[in-house]
Structure 1
Amino acid sequence: MLELNIDDVLAVLGSVRTHVIVVAVVLVLALIVTIAVNKKTVKNLGARKLTHSGTWIVAVIAAIVSVNMMVLGPLENVITLATSPKLALSQSTIKKTNDLAVNIEREGIVLLQNNDNALPIENPGNINVFGWASTNPIYGGTGSGALSDAYPTTSILDSLKDAGFKTNQELTDFYTQYSTKRGEIAVTQADWTLPEPPAANYTQSLIDNAKKYSDTAVVVIGRVGGEGLDLPKDMNAEGVVYNNNSNDYKDFEAGQHYLELDHTERDMLDLVTENFDKVVLVYNGANAFEMSFLNDYPQIKSVLWAPHPGQAGFAALGEIMNGTVNPSGKTADTFVKDLTKTPAFNNVDDFKYDNAKEFEIQSARGLRSPRFVNYVEGIYVGYRFYETAADEGAINYDDVVQYPFGYGLSYTNFEQKMGDVTYQNGTVSFEVTVTNTGDAKGKDVVEVYSNPPYTEGGIEKATANLVKFEKTKELAPGQSQKISISFDDDDLASYDYKNAKAYVLEAGDYGISIRRDSHHIIDTKNVNVAQTITYDSKANAHNGDAKVATNTFDDVAGDVNYLSRANNFANYTQTTAAPADFTMSDAAKDGFYNNGNYDPKKFDKNTDKMPTTGAKNNVRLVQLRGKSYDDKLWDKLLDELTVDEMNNLIANGGYGNAAIDSIGKIRMSDVDGPAALKDNFTGVSSIGLPANIALANSWNRQLAEDYGKNIGQMAHELNISGWYAPSINIHRSEFGGRNFEYFSEDPTLTGTLSSGQVLGAAQYGVYAFTKHFALNEQETERNGQLLTWSNEQAIREIYLKPFETVVKSANNAKVKSIAIMSSFNYVGNTYSSAKLALNQTVLRDEWGFRGMVETDYFAGPNYSYQNADQLIRGGTDIMLATTKTTNYVTDTSATAVIQMRRAAHNILYTTVNSWRYKDGEPGAGLEAWKIALIVADVIVALALLALAYVAIRRFMKRREN
């Protein structure tokens, strides 16, 4: 189904405003002339008729010219997208994709609790399924992560029936009669209603019949999330919309949030547990849920976390419940007992500067004023805080954490034995022997963590840091597997942004442990680093950096006071409190730009010389396929491009990138992800895979690579070259609206699995736009000039690390076709797409990235700060725009053209190395709609000539008479 958000609509309307006005004015003038030229003003009938005819012929010509300028100008890309051929997947690919989805969900469902071994139910029979979400589960997120409705879905009830269970139809009918639709979550607005029949609606006969039907109850609780909006931290806050399920009470009292049970759900659980002693709870959602209520219900024996499964993945749920599949998922996030007490809770919201009137700018969405978000917790994100705080005695772990990061139960038992650790030539190596000591076949995960030496008041360090992980094959009872673990000592280093201003591997003992999860240690051994290593020279750069990593983001730290381990987290209360100061500092104001104050000419360099354009070198783009980025032939090709060709290529990057006929560059098709291939304009879509949170819970690198390969195969059948995915921002907050499409709170888990996706897609020549670069952990006011503040250590160790892992993995695999998508937010006081330190210094100079950097959706004046002139100077190459706004470069000075040439180079390097050029130069040709337009113009022109001829001839006859 075609889905357009308000930004699409506003952008299109804004781009054609002038043309529509011209058409309207011309037609009104023609009407005025027609009325004015009457018997009183022109008595000669022939002259009057000729004037009328001539006026309307001229008006129609003017209107046609304006319409042609409109459709061949600002609407050209939109029409091309909308009229593209509608391709479809083959049945074999659909089956393969569905099979993969089920495999991912088999390992992505996490068994959180299993008291009295209530699961599996090996002899499935009748079962009661409670909870309205059982009839309307969540398959995927919303916004760009929404699934297509062109393919069928496997529901929870389908899954149970396929697994041999018979479900209580009377209960199902009860829920579907109550409601068939949940609240709609859109990009710019949301209805957070959670339909659930009040306990009073359950008749006694319904309950009695359920008890007769089965002594076992399954309860399904669902939560949704999506692009553009974070989940409500207070359901009664201003602007939060939802409907109560009863007039007798509120579903949420003051201060209650979306990720806890509401009143109706708790009443339903009370009712179920009063009547059933064997209850299985299924949580169908992507965001870590507050589950402290489980202590109140001993009847709830088992708990399953079943994240968004895509369109077929739910088949795995029934298989796990009947024991056909042994759950092997591990939590990709920490589940805490009180989400209001997490380090980031008070610093995720809409915080508006109160002294930035000079930067307010009128947009289609109204007056826009800068906002901010402070990443106060520094490196202590997720389990890193809870493990370190517990070790420091700052918290009682069991009072705070319900399920640790990396936690998950199985129907069998495993033993892990850690071999001797060697540390030679900068590499740490050892083996882990995993043995299935239980009675059922299953898989286990080896989780390796480091605990670095810490000096009070020195470099901030967590006591638990995931370094490496591996998943076993399926092991039969009694079977063992040896897992080889190896990693560089670079992975143990910390970034010191205060003193060394570089990565540092401090001397001392590093505890290398294997753990059941982030908290429960199986075994640990020390690796001793005899002498401190500072990675501050080209000969000794960190993790293979092409350029030494040193402080690049001093300006992004701002005036924020960051959480510190010093003195047992003595500054916790102060640093994690909600902001009290809403003043934009003078330093932040200095160099802050939006469309109200950015003048590209101020950044022109007088020393720049205009590069060659429009040369006749007869080089075709296909000749550059496979050649190095610095091959001299590139200069000859780039010399051929005109300024207009480069500008068109840079400006029109929405859901594709433009053709350049003169060099044999065809238009490429780039589409949304992250769990599918979906073009919001053409309606072309693939079947949806499980969300990345499910993949993250699998801890399975092979599944991640298979995911990418499957995307690549579908892309070939749909003639798609670029994939707007994977999304790899961090779960900084449990309330993140896009946590379903991001992987985890941990950068190592995120980076490893997303690299698998990227490399898998690259095997099919599909370039992935890894996104959102960077620090886009908040959806609230993400495009409201959101200034994001964080210190360099956290930026590098937590938020940039997944991107670094992807880029360097691609480099090591010699992938030449790769892309990055920027984020909507500002990094410090600079829009991410204009942050040269991010897009050039770190991405290209340090990490060696060769590819194109694209903006997130480009709505220009609708967001008040997107400006192509600024962005090409900030290291961005292409605008994700579908219609003309401020996406065209307006300054064509030598400085600007040099940057346009660089951008064109990056775009062309990426596209020529994609699968579309694998078999030589692909054919292009004129789009069908343009041919139709030409034919229509010719027909209309002939008709107008005929009308003009008739009008003149009639005038001449009247004159003769």
Structure 2
Amino acid sequence: MTGSSGLSAATKQTSQKLGEQITGEGIVLLKNEGDALPISTSTKLNVFGWGSTNATFGGTGSGSVDETTAVSLMEGLHNAGFKTNETLTKFYTDYRADRPSVGMMSVDWTVPQPTIEQYDKAGIFENAKEYSDTALVVISRSGGEGMDLPDKYSTESNYNKTQQGSDVVYSTQKDDIDSSKSYLELTNRETQMVGRVTKEFSNVYVVINSASPMELGWLDQYNSIKAAVWCGGASATGFNALGDVLSGTINPSGRLVDTYVYDLRSTPTFNNYGNFTYDNSTEITGSDKNVAKFVNYVEGIYVGYKYYETAAAEGTIDYDKTVQYPFGYGLSYTTFDQKIASFDRSGGKTTVKVKVTNTGDTAGKDVVELYFTPPYYNGGIEKASTNLLDFAKTKELKPGESQTVTISFNDEDLASYDDQNAKAYVLEHGDYTITLNSDSHTVLDSRSFTVGNDVIYDDAHDGKRSTDQVAATNQFDDARGDVTYLSRTDHFANYDEATAAPTNKTMSKDEMAVYTAKSTFDASDYDKGATMPTTGAKNGLTIQDMTGVDYNDAKWDKLLDQLTVDEMTDAVADGGFHMISLKSINSGESVDSDGPAGLSSNFNASMKGTAFPPAVMIASTWNKDLAKQRGKQVGVEGKELGITGWYGPAMNIHRSAFSGRNFEYYSEDGTMSGFMGGEEVAGATEEGMMTYVKHFALNDQETNRTNGLCTWTTEQSIREIYLKAFERAFKDGKSLAVMTSFNSIGARWAGSNSSLLQSVLRDEWGFHGAVETDAMDPLADFYMDLNRGIRTGLTHGLSMTGGDGLIANTDSAGTVTALRKAMHDNLYAVANSTAVHKDASMPVWAKAVIAADVVIALLLVGSEVLAVMRYRERKQAAAVTVNQIGQ
């Protein structure tokens, strides 16, 4: 359908090599007592855990990758030179060969694992001890689109229905069902297996194959567990890198992108994540068939490490008993020394030079992590005590070798958003400390400076931030709702009240007035004073004439005048996985594709790119250059596959460990996500790809995502946590496209939220380009309204059925004006991407179908001719026979 014959051998090789490098640099060394790792390849391994035979490469849904030809975990070990116990491996594959399904249609959370009785009956431990004295335990967890992970491993879970409404299977292994455990703990069978392995073997190593942070306190409960590594996913060849890390061919340099706590049920988000239903739902949606849901982001800005570091600073938690592995944590096979070599400030800009020296005896890479601590005034603007500012990865340093890393930042990068008083970004007066850390908790060096007076970034005071087009001001006051938010005031005095499960489950009349169900839409609210635009003009312009033309150039009006109403209507409504051909301006049909971890098509199995590591693995490299290379390679693959639009990368936040799509998102931190996502977008955009960065915005859980999920939060957290992840994709990455989310921000659907799509995205950030919905799924039909959307910032719908009936009143001046504005943005993206080179005369797929029809017709005609000829031959033969008999 794209005219492509697939990826070239050279491109495949480059992509696979890059994916393997990302996995190698993303694997995190969690534990290494007595330098137990690396292991000599002469060591024979008993590999325990069913996950060893069916490891996860990422997750399911649009972010999944083709695993059919990928290197398996066991193959990765063998390719590194290890020999493994084949009897043990066969025991697992005989037990179960397939991974349980986790998807939008059906969900089975079974963690396959034989019982101890089955191990003993097969003589597995006796066999393993005869094979070697070394055990490698693999613990694997999956996740996927449409379903969050069980907070209780039983029907008592908060998430007990699939997106399609069917029942969830928690485990087909009845002895594993346990409401005292979550899916992110060892199951009962795994606990027994680990206990037995650690008893029988004195040298035990562990691989954690889970994108979501698990409870890993058990790693420190067994003396025989010498070392552990985290590998949240892999590319087509990424498990080769795991083998190389274990053998020492690769020195691990990954760092965690989430905080790992001992008890996931004690996080500030736990009671306010998942399934919450309004008790006046029918009144809200206008139908008892449609159920209105909500979620309260009660933790405010205190997401992940920002809470734990601040709570420790305030003395409200025992950090060491609460946090096992801090954000940014990771070990190495060598040692490094880091120190601030110089710290220079001039004109509101600071330049920090950090000297990194390899003080060990093994070559390796290190990560420079820079954080800042702002002044906090009790009861004032909410601020975390520790905030990631920037980071960099060194080159590979030989023993004794040094490298000086330079990081620069502006004072405005330290500003907080004050949504209560100034309603602007504010750099408050006081002392600011810049810290050089090995992780979010461990300070290696620091410098401080003082800001004498408040700097308020608005027009009335000190002007906008340098990266904004206009000064930011409150846009989401209506998203605050009637919710108590966690505050640092008086040492988090309101913690218990703020983080308790919601008691108010009634939407107010005022909130219902802005709820964006189709039943509340009135075009007259938006179309006052509209005049019918020119359509169908003959100005002689083509889309090719518009490449590089400024968005506000009058030439665009002449091009848009050429479009007919039917063309605009069809283009806006029928936007699923393509942009349609427009003959009036010679714009050919473009092709869009999932997915964030590798280009793939839901409709054409042969149209697939390389399986890359998931975003969480890319982020854990802490290597911006690798992220950009990955983006560029997606663009290169897109050119070869004829794909011009990429539904990715995905930039939502790991608000909770239980999010089903944590594999597809970078981190719990908006700054980390922003830097890495921005680099990926920049790389792909430079290759001409339209990157539909998603899901814009606050789509941080899967549960109820298609129920018009009302997301209540503060403007400060929206800007400092959730939008920060997207911001660099547009300002630095220059993305030409974005995909909106299913959920609502407050009570306004993100796809028709003018504050999000116009005031912030376009006015503040300066974006021009395509803004698409998430899938126009029938489940979300009652509130996802293109008619409202195109009047508030949308440009087209990801329709799964061709878009018929999605746009109404096309004889109205208001509708045609909205369609024209949407097409301006769509065509700006097309003109500046590889889609501009598509032929509008006839799409390749149509030519292929016609060619196939011709071939079939010729075959049919040929068959008919042959049939007639054979009939005549038989008739003539029969006549001869009759004559012979007569004679």
Matched to 1:835, the amino acid is: N
Structure 2 equivalent of residue 165 of structure 1: 82
The answer on 1:225 being equivalent to 2:150 is no
CA distance in 1, matches of 2:513, 2:341: 56
CA distance in 2, matches of 1:500, 1:906: 33
Matched to 1:108, the amino acid is: G
**Partner SS for 1:873:** coil
The structural deviation recorded for 1:762 is 1.4
CA contact (8 A) 1:496 1:793 kept: yes
CA distance in 2, matches of 1:243, 1:460: 39
Structure 2 equivalent of residue 269 of structure 1: 194
The structural deviation recorded for 1:468 is 0.7
Matched to 1:792, the amino acid is: E
Structure 2 equivalent of residue 913 of structure 1: 832
Higher mean displacement: 87-96 or 400-409: 87-96
**Partner SS for 2:662:** coil
Alignment of 1:436-475 (within 5 A): 436-475=358-397
**Partner SS for 1:778:** coil
The answer on 1:767 being equivalent to 2:690 is yes
CA distance in 2, matches of 1:885, 1:610: 23
Structure 1 equivalent of residue 180 of structure 2: 255
Matched to 2:235, the amino acid is: G
Residues 577/243 of structure 1: CA separation in 2 closer, same or farther (3 Å cut):
closer
CA distance in 1, matches of 2:846, 2:264: 53
Structure 1 equivalent of residue 31 of structure 2: 113
2:401 to 467, 472, 479: 479
Residues 922/342 of structure 1: CA separation in 2 closer, same or farther (3 Å cut):
farther
The structural deviation recorded for 1:200 is 1.2
Structure 1 equivalent of residue 225 of structure 2: 300
1:282 to 207, 210, 222: 207
Structure 1 equivalent of residue 726 of structure 2: 803
1:730 to 648, 653, 656: 653
The structural deviation recorded for 1:702 is 0.6
Higher mean displacement: 185-194 or 398-407: 185-194
The structural deviation recorded for 1:772 is 0.6
CA distance in 1, matches of 2:208, 2:362: 25
Structure 1 equivalent of residue 349 of structure 2: 427
The structural deviation recorded for 1:547 is 1.1
1:323 to 233, 241, 248: 248
2:582 to 660, 677, 682: 660
Structure 2 equivalent of residue 34 of structure 1: none
CA contact (8 A) 1:141 1:741 kept: yes
The answer on 1:402 being equivalent to 2:324 is yes
2:259 to 317, 334, 348: 334
Residues 779/475 of structure 1: CA separation in 2 closer, same or farther (3 Å cut):
same
Residues 244/634 of structure 1: CA separation in 2 closer, same or farther (3 Å cut):
closer
CA distance in 2, matches of 1:87, 1:851: 29
Higher mean displacement: 230-239 or 479-488: 230-239
Once the two structures are superposed, residues 699-744 of structure 1 have per-residue CA deviations (whole angstroms, 9 ceiling, x without a partner) of 0001101101110111111001011001001100000111001000
Structure 1 equivalent of residue 131 of structure 2: 213
Residues 155/937 of structure 1: CA separation in 2 closer, same or farther (3 Å cut):
closer
Matched to 1:130, the amino acid is: F
Structure 2 equivalent of residue 20 of structure 1: none
The answer on 1:241 being equivalent to 2:163 is no
CA distance in 1, matches of 2:690, 2:56: 29
Once the two structures are superposed, residues 205-239 of structure 1 have per-residue CA deviations (whole angstroms, 9 ceiling, x without a partner) of 32122112111100000000011111011121353
The structural deviation recorded for 1:884 is 3.9
Residues 229/808 of structure 1: CA separation in 2 closer, same or farther (3 Å cut):
same
CA distance in 1, matches of 2:188, 2:771: 47
Once the two structures are superposed, residues 298-348 of structure 1 have per-residue CA deviations (whole angstroms, 9 ceiling, x without a partner) of 211111101110221111111011111100000000000000000111111
Matched to 2:685, the amino acid is: A
Residues 738/531 of structure 1: CA separation in 2 closer, same or farther (3 Å cut):
same
Higher mean displacement: 409-418 or 581-590: 581-590
Structure 1 equivalent of residue 868 of structure 2: none
The structural deviation recorded for 1:246 is 5.1
Structure 1 equivalent of residue 822 of structure 2: 903
Residues 215/534 of structure 1: CA separation in 2 closer, same or farther (3 Å cut):
same
Once the two structures are superposed, residues 646-695 of structure 1 have per-residue CA deviations (whole angstroms, 9 ceiling, x without a partner) of 11111111111111011101000010010101110222211210001001
CA distance in 2, matches of 1:925, 1:675: 26
**Partner SS for 2:226:** strand
**Partner SS for 1:96:** helix
Structure 2 equivalent of residue 498 of structure 1: 420
The structural deviation recorded for 1:182 is 2.2
Higher mean displacement: 312-321 or 196-205: 196-205
Structure 2 equivalent of residue 132 of structure 1: 50
Matched to 1:275, the amino acid is: E
CA contact (8 A) 2:690 2:736 kept: yes
The answer on 1:202 being equivalent to 2:88 is no
Alignment of 1:356-371 (within 5 A): 356-360=281-285, 367-371=289-293
Higher mean displacement: 579-588 or 195-204: 195-204
What are the ranges of 5 or more consecutive residues in structure 1 without an aligned counterpart? 1-82, 943-961
TM-score by length of 1: 0.86
Residues 484/657 of structure 1: CA separation in 2 closer, same or farther (3 Å cut):
same
CA contact (8 A) 1:336 1:401 kept: yes
Residues 614/381 of structure 1: CA separation in 2 closer, same or farther (3 Å cut):
same
The structural deviation recorded for 1:599 is 3.6
Residues 938/94 of structure 1: CA separation in 2 closer, same or farther (3 Å cut):
closer
CA contact (8 A) 1:860 1:867 kept: no
Once the two structures are superposed, residues 788-832 of structure 1 have per-residue CA deviations (whole angstroms, 9 ceiling, x without a partner) of 01100000000001211111103xxxx4x6101000001111110
CA distance in 1, matches of 2:512, 2:374: 39
Higher mean displacement: 747-756 or 237-246: 237-246
**Partner SS for 1:693:** helix
Residues 925/95 of structure 1: CA separation in 2 closer, same or farther (3 Å cut):
closer
Residues 103/929 of structure 1: CA separation in 2 closer, same or farther (3 Å cut):
closer
CA distance in 1, matches of 2:528, 2:222: 74
The structural deviation recorded for 1:281 is 0.7
Residues 444/595 of structure 1: CA separation in 2 closer, same or farther (3 Å cut):
same
1:612 to 493, 517, 534: 534
CA distance in 2, matches of 1:818, 1:530: 40
Matched to 1:165, the amino acid is: F
CA distance in 1, matches of 2:491, 2:201: 46
The answer on 1:682 being equivalent to 2:604 is yes
Matched to 1:855, the amino acid is: T
2:793 to 868, 875, 882: 875
The structural deviation recorded for 1:244 is 4.7
CA distance in 2, matches of 1:921, 1:866: 30
2:628 to 705, 716, 731: 705
What percentage of residue pairs aligned between the two structures are identical? Answer: 46
Residues 266/844 of structure 1: CA separation in 2 closer, same or farther (3 Å cut):
same
Matched to 1:198, the amino acid is: T
The structural deviation recorded for 1:242 is 3.5
2:643 to 694, 698, 720: 720
CA contact (8 A) 2:257 2:616 kept: yes
CA distance in 1, matches of 2:550, 2:82: 58
Structure 2 equivalent of residue 755 of structure 1: 678
CA contact (8 A) 1:869 1:891 kept: no
Structure 1 equivalent of residue 431 of structure 2: 509
**Partner SS for 1:368:** coil
Once the two structures are superposed, residues 757-807 of structure 1 have per-residue CA deviations (whole angstroms, 9 ceiling, x without a partner) of 111111211111111100000100101110001100000000001211111
Once the two structures are superposed, residues 28-81 of structure 1 have per-residue CA deviations (whole angstroms, 9 ceiling, x without a partner) of xxxxxxxxxxxxxxxxxxxxxxxxxxxxxxxxxxxxxxxxxxxxxxxxxxxxxx
The answer on 1:374 being equivalent to 2:296 is yes
What are the ranges of 5 or more consecutive residues in structure 2 without an aligned counterpart? 161-166, 862-887
The structural deviation recorded for 1:916 is 3.7
Structure 1 equivalent of residue 774 of structure 2: 856
**Partner SS for 1:856:** strand
Q: Indicate the RMSD between aligned Cα atoms, in angstroms.
A: 2.1
Once the two structures are superposed, residues 13-33 of structure 1 have per-residue CA deviations (whole angstroms, 9 ceiling, x without a partner) of xxxxxxxxxxxxxxxxxxxxx
The structural deviation recorded for 1:598 is 2.6
The structural deviation recorded for 1:750 is 0.5
The answer on 1:144 being equivalent to 2:62 is yes
